[in-house]
Amino acid sequence: MGLFELFHAAGSGARDPGLAIAVVGLYLAGVLALALLVRRRWPEQREWSRKLVHMGTGPVVLLAWALQIERGIALPVAAAVTVLTALNHRFRLLPAVEDVGRPSYGTVAYGASITVLLALFWPAQPAAVAAGVLVMAFGDGLAGLLGPLVRSPSWSLWGQRKSLVGTGAMAIASAAVLGLLWILQGPAGAGSGSGLAGWAAAGAPQAAAAILVLTALAVGLEQLSAYGLDNLSVPLAVGLLWSLLRP
């Protein structure tokens, strides 16, 4: 039994949807407030506040998992947030979230990917949702922060600059997130007897190989990031493959 399953067993029967929503709402408000402070303190670093929101929203999935937020709440809220993000992209109501000085639909695609993952896997496979979202949140977030700050060999794909440091940060953060999530989910379930899931559950070497495959998939797709569409491709691809490896 994984850590989150133990949490659920201890707290089952005491769920309060209103309290759960309030906790998530307060957390998101804190992330947004911090992003606005960063934007005000370092106005010349427009990417920082955006990446802070990008990284800060990822753990919401873990909160929703731990608090057992139901599908009937999680999915409509995610869809509504995506619509609000699209409106903000169009009208720039909160520049701290969108104003990066280049054409990008990343925030909208990010919200859309979370919504699709919830539609596909929530609540039956919350770890698949968490894998896709957290890899994008921390892997891509750290790549976007460290890549421009640390000088290293770089290249360009589809007009997007990529660097060795940024790509390395994406790989290390993705592998760390996926490895931790693999442990948190606990032993493989009953549906892991054959196919990819059976192979991944066979032992530690296979689990490590599975994490490396997921990491390579995330890093490869992140290279193709024109218009921020990696915010859609990376979470969906990682979440789908995770669902096959850890059903």
Q: What is the pLDDT of residues 141-184, one digit of tens each?
A: 999 899 988 999 999 988 788 999 999 999 999 999 999 999 98
Residue 6: its pLDDT value, please? 53
- Return the axis-axis angle of helices 164-185 and 204-223, rounded to nearest 10°: 140
Residue 151: its pLDDT value, please? 92
Tell me the whole-structure pTM to 2 decimals. Answer: 0.88
Q: How far is CA 87 from the centre of its chain?
A: 21
Q: State residue 99 phi and psi, 5-degree precision.
A: -75, 95
Q: State residue 11 phi and psi, 5-degree precision.
A: -105, 5
Interval 133-143: pLDDT, tens: 999 999 999 99
96 contacts: CB under 8 Å, gap ≥ 6: 32, 35, 36, 38, 39, 49, 50, 53
- CA end-to-end distance (rounded Å), the chain: 14
Query: Which tops the pLDDT comparison, 91 or 133?
Result: 133
Residue 93: its pLDDT value, please? 73
Is pLDDT at 217 greater than 80 in this prediction?
yes
